Amino acid sequence: MNMIAVDIGNTSITVALFIDNDEKFIESVRGGSDDAKQRLTDLLSDAWQRVPLVQDAAAAKRDGVIVASSVNPPWTDMIAEICKTHLDEKLKVIGKDVPLPIDTAVDNALEVGTDRLVAAAAAFAVVQDAVVVADFGTAVTIDLVDENGTFMGGVIYPGFEILAKALHENTAALPTVHCKKPKGSYGANTIEAINAGMYYAAVGLLETITRRYAEELGKWPQTVVTGGAATVIAEDCEFVDTWVSNLTVRGVVIAWKKYIEDQAYLAGLGEEDEPDR
């Protein structure tokens, strides 16, 4: 399988190239930067040129697909326009062109960000049991998948950058702080105090929510963390089993594979139903 997987988030857009199921690269671009569109055009064009051509095709056509998970409609439109104009290829969007890759028990699956759903599907595909998926990005999401592979829902909390910005903009003197692991349990100055507050709030939230999920399940689930800020807190959470980079991108791949497998299965059923001639 040859594929460009795209994770369109609230802060950045991540592009990954897979050739024959082998990961060739994963690269992120901040979506709001002045040169974002040009960088993404160059990145996608370069990746698409590396996808092999369909053998024996009458016209030159790449033997691949471009699939995206998105929580940012304007950026989705930008990526779709790049794909159409520069690659002559349609961008397939999960939840629109590609079905959601996981069963859910939520009120409205289409209202859940596809980033959360594909990450949950990717985690369950590996664990094959109840799993907590915590993504520390622009927002912190901590979601639960039960032992049957059903997405049960989760919690959403402001990420480190949002918290730091809120403190700075809503006070007269507090500075903007970039969160990192604290030197100790309390800060000896304002910056250290803000940092410790954000850090231990995240650690405490993850531990509390995971424990509550465990109580509902009747067992302690495996816990997978991802996202740009995940490495900051993972080492202080002994119950965290795995840190995975770019879990959402990997979930996009799983969503497409599941769709292809389902299509092949349905086609097979159709052939079985055809009368003998």
* Residues marked as catalytic: 115
Buried b (16+ CB within 10 A) or exposed e, 86-112: ebebebbbbbeebebbbebebeeeeeb
Q: Which amino acid is at 103?
A: D
Q: Taking Cα atoms as reference points, which of 146, 144, 145, 142 lies closest to residue 155? A: 142
85 in helix, strand or coil?
helix
69: number of CA atoms within 13 Å, CB side? 31
Strand order in the sheet with 3-8: 22-30, 12-19, 3-8, 65-70, 91-93
Identify the CA nearest to 200 among candidates 182, 215, 220: 182
Distance of CA 198 to the CA centre of its chain: 23
Q: Which candidate, 266, 249, 259, places its Cα nearest to that of 99? A: 259
